[in-house]
């Protein structure tokens, strides 16, 4: 019990050192998951990604409670494969480069001059508007507001992780409020999807999936990108700033990829054994979990792994099981092309149009934000011009 709580606390408060500094594969008791096989060994993770006896989606209890029981992220087996094809096809429709840059410029133009603000917060709003346009072709203030209200329902994350608190005692109780805000947002999204232009994600998804899929795509499609953007800015150095500002697409992409190696916003994946499974010299009983540790995979076997060196992504493509900020195997993130393109556009747009500098003395320590790891205080910056 104590060991489980200790490991849970490490995972929450020291996600990078916990996954990076230990051995490459180890057993750890974790709250709610039992004895977990944690691994930063690329060969073992490759084997796990292919193994038919290991499935994704089952360990996401908090995600089920919050976003519903029947969407891609919590599905497995044939149902997951069918939905995955539908979602991947739909996600090929995404906003144009010019549109992403314009939305970003507009949001950053509203920031104060000479006073510190959280870069992640502004990027969050820009990303929310970009995904809303991609999803349903509109990003009016009402939709943005409904989404922000829903997100405010998790301002105390206890409501997500403590099962006993997930009780609907009316609109004033934390869980009751969350459920009501979720239905309002879902209804608005479904209505907007009914009017969505043909080149949107919603229009390319079968309408019978809207009630389950629109909300998760909206949530996953902007929180992750905003946290990654905050890392990219927190790690910026002068030469990178210069090349990104020049609009060097190849370098900007390599820079984003390298930031995601050093500071991955998703720190761990989970796969549950449906039968007895052997992975190398390790075995799992049915019901046990294997946890690929992304910061560890991005650390072991890389030369000068502590150094931020975007050029490594210009020199070659890494092994997909040693570099996996978007996951591995058949569950790899369907939003990856959209997210990478958007991050390139956002970085160039911000650096070309504004003079933003990190708040003096700021050190970007990793902190947990629900399912993500982001730089402390969302990267505080000051705008000089
Ligand atoms: C920088 C941004 C992003 C990061 C770091 C990221 C990361 C990830 C990771 C690590 C997974 C795998 C989870 C697992 O294997 O259990 C995943 C899955 C997923 N992501 Fe992303 N993601 C990003 C952007 C997006 C965007 C823009 C969308 C949609 C618009 C999206 C939608 C999804 C969905 C639906 C899944 C579930 C796939 C499945 O289970 O088959 N993500 N993402």
Query: Quick one: pLDDT at residue 160?
Result: 74
Nearest to 344 by CA among 195, 243, 201: 243
- From the CA of 217, how far away is ligand 1's center (Å)? 9
- Provide the 8-state DSSP code for 30: E
Whether 378 and 118 have beta carbons less than 8 Å apart is answered as yes
- How would you class 171 by CB atoms within 10 Å of its CB: exposed for 0-12, middle for 13-18, buried for 19 or more? exposed
CA 152 to chain centre: 18
Which pair of structure tokens corresponds to residue 178? 């969350």
Distance 16 CA to ligand 1 centre (A): 19
Residue 318: per-residue pLDDT: 96
Q: What is the pLDDT of residue 93?
A: 73
* Per-residue CA distances from 228 to 195, 231, 288, 291, 313 (Å): 31, 5, 30, 21, 17
d(CA 206, CA 138): 19
Closest residue (by CA) to atom 12 of ligand 1?
A: 327
d(CA 207, CA 196): 11
Ligand 1 centroid distance, CA of 171 (Å): 31
Residue nearest atom 17 in ligand 1 by C-alpha distance: 333
Q: Could you tell me the distance, in angstroms and rounded to a whole number, from the CA of residue 331 to the centre of ligand 1?
A: 8
Distance CA 291, CA 104 (A): 35
Atom 37 of ligand 1, nearest CA residue: 73
Residue located nearest, by CA, to atom 6 of ligand 1: 326
Residues in the chain with pLDDT values less than 50: none
Helices (H), the chain: 2-13, 15-20, 42-50, 61-67, 77-90, 97-109, 119-136, 141-152, 158-161, 174-194, 201-204, 210-234, 238-245, 249-262, 294-297, 312-315, 336-353
- The hierarchical CATH code for the domain 2-383 is 1.10.630.10
Distance 325 CA to ligand 1 centre (A): 9
Which of 335, 344, 370 to mutate to test ligand 1, by most ligand atoms within 8 A of the CB atom? 335
8-state DSSP, 22: S
Pocket test for ligand 1, best of 90, 293, 333, 373 (most atoms within 8 A of CB): 333
Q: Which residues line ligand 1 (CB under 6 A)?
A: 56, 72-73, 84, 87, 91, 131, 217, 220-221, 224-225, 228, 265-266, 269, 325-327, 331, 333-335, 338-339
């Amino acid at each position: 019990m104590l060991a489980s709580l200790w490991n849970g606390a490490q995972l929450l408060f020291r996600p990078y050192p916990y996954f990076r500094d230990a051995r490459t594969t180890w057993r750890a008791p974790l709250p709610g998951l039992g004895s977990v096989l944690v691994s930063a060994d690329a060969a073992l993770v490759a084997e796990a990604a292919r193994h038919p006896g290991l499935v994704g989606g089952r360990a996401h209890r908090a995600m089920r409670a919050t976003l519903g029981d029947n969407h891609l992220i919590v599905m497995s087996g044939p149902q997951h494969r069918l939905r995955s094809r539908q979602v991947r096809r739909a996600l090929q429709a995404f906003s144009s480069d010019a549109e992403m840059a314009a939305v970003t410029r507009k949001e950053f133009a509203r920031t104060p001059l000479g006073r510190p603000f959280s870069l992640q917060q502004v990027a969050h709003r820009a990303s929310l508007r970009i995904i809303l346009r991609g999803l349903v072709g509109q990003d009016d203030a009402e939709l943005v507001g409904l989404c922000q209200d829903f997100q405010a329902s998790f301002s105390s994350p206890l409501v997500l992780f403590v099962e006993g608190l997930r009780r609907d005692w009316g609109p004033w109780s934390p869980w009751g409020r969350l459920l009501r805000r979720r239905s309002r947002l879902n209804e608005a999204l479904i209505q907007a999807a009914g009017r969505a232009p043909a080149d949107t994600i919603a229009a390319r998804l079968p309408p019978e999936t809207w009630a389950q899929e629109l909300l998760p795509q909206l949530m996953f499609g902007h929180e992750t990108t905003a946290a990654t953007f905050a890392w990219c800015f927190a790690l910026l150095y002068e030469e990178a700033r210069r090349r990104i500002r020049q609009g060097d697409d190849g370098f900007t992409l390599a820079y984003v990829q390298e930031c995601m190696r050093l500071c991955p916003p998703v720190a761990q994946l989970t796969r549950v054994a449906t039968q007895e499974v052997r992975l190398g010299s390790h075995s799992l009983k049915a019901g046990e979990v294997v946890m690929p540790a992304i910061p560890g995979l991005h650390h072991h076997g890389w030369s000068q792994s502590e150094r931020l060196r975007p050029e490594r992504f210009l020199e070659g493509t890494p092994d997909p099981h040693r570099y996996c900020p978007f996951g591995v195997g058949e569950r790899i993130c369907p939003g990856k092309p959209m997210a990478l393109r958007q991050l390139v556009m956002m970085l160039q747009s911000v650096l070309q149009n504004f003079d933003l500098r990190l708040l003096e003395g700021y050190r970007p320590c990793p902190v947990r934000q629900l399912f993500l790891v982001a730089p402390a205080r969302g990267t505080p910056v000051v705008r000089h011009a």
